[in-house]
Amino acid sequence: MSEQRSCVIIGIAGASASGKSLIAQTIYNELMAELDAAEIGVISEDCYYRDQGHLTMEERIKTNYDHPRALDHELLAEQLRALSRGEAVDIPQYSYVAHTRTSETIHFLPKKVIILEGILLLTDPLLRELMDASIFMDTPLDICLIRRLQRDVEERGRSMDSVLQQYRDTVRPMFLQFIEPSKQHADIIVPRGGRNRIATDMIKSRIRHLLLD
Ligand SMILES: Nc1ncnc2c1ncn2[C@@H]1O[C@H](COP(=O)(O)OP(=O)(O)O)[C@@H](O)[C@H]1O
Ligand SMILES: O=c1ccn([C@@H]2O[C@H](COP(=O)(O)O)[C@@H](O)[C@H]2O)c(=O)[nH]1
């Protein structure tokens, strides 16, 4: 039997650079205008990459970041349950440059609406159980690769060669093995990426409806 929930949790999954953060941020910004700003928040699955402080940089670079074992989904599920019970949590912070957690955490207060976004969220039954609605961003992989290449070089301190090698070695194979099949668990499949206006409005309507339940 599932626990009683005091907040609405929406899960957004899909390939890396498929537009998960963009749509999550858009929904957040637009609903913030209706709800109190303190009543809605976004949590990224990336915060739950495992700490790799005990590994050398050479070893960290070899980690497969697109396999479910790279993420501490147990901690994520535990923190979501705590938030649902009305308790605050300390969310770990992750550095894509150092490939490990930072020493900081973010103190996150309970909200009425939590938008959760991340590549592997729908692969995990523990997490699916906690979601009130699930979304899969179905952006073509070639578009995702172009966007990831640009973003990782500009924002995540990466070289073009390292992004392309990682894409061939792990990102694409893990997408095909884990992420793409997890689409079957989504309630809504969003084509074309983070600027799909009709999909964004539908998700907002669903959230409003869930808030009235
Ligand atoms: N529909 C779109 N058109 C143009 N650029 C986009 C679109 N969706 C996302 N982007 C850009 O692509 C990059 C990856 O998007 P992001 O939302 O961060 O993906 P994800 O969170 O799925 O990894 C970002 O730089 C973002 O601004
Ligand atoms: O140290 C790291 C941690 C993660 N990654 C890559 O990040 C993406 C997931 O983040 P998105 O924001 O959804 O793109 C995943 O594909 C990992 O490969 C990394 O490169 N290094």
- Encode pLDDT of 115-154 as tens digits: 999 999 999 999 999 999 999 999 999 999 999 999 999 9
Helix (H) or strand (E) run with residue 9 in it: strand 8-14
Counting ligands in written order, the one closest to the CA of 119 is 2
Domains of the chain with bracketed CATH: 8-212 (3.40.50.300)
Question: Are the C-beta atoms of residues 115 and 10 closer than 8 Å to each other?
Answer: yes
96 Cβ closer than 6 Å to some ligand 2 atom: yes
**Cα–Cα distance for residue pair 98/155, rounded to 1 Å:** 13
Ligand 1 centroid, distance to 119 Cα (angstroms) = 13
Mean pLDDT of 56-61: 97
% pLDDT > 70, the chain: 98
Return the SS3 of 93.
strand
Question: Are the C-beta atoms of residues 183 and 138 closer than 8 Å to each other?
Answer: yes
**Cα–Cα distance for residue pair 118/43, rounded to 1 Å:** 9
17 Cβ closer than 6 Å to some ligand 2 atom: yes
Which of the listed residues 119, 141, 142, 147 should we mutate to test ligand 1's pocket, taking the one with most ligand atoms within 8 A of CB?
A: 147
Ligand 1 atom having least distance to the Cα of 15: 22
Rg of the chain over CA atoms, in angstroms? 17
Return the SS3 of 78.
helix
CB atoms under 10 Å from CB of 206, counted, come to 17
Cut 0.90: pTM above it? yes
Return the SS3 of 23.
helix
Chain segment 28-51, per-residue pLDDT in tens: 999 998 988 889 999 999 999 999
Cβ-defined contacts of 90-96 (< 8 Å, 24+): 91/43, 91/47, 92/47, 92/48, 92/51, 93/47, 94/46, 94/47, 94/48, 94/49, 96/46, 96/152, 96/156, 96/157, 96/158
Which of the listed residues 12, 22, 65, 153 should we mutate to test ligand 1's pocket, taking the one with most ligand atoms within 8 A of CB?
A: 22
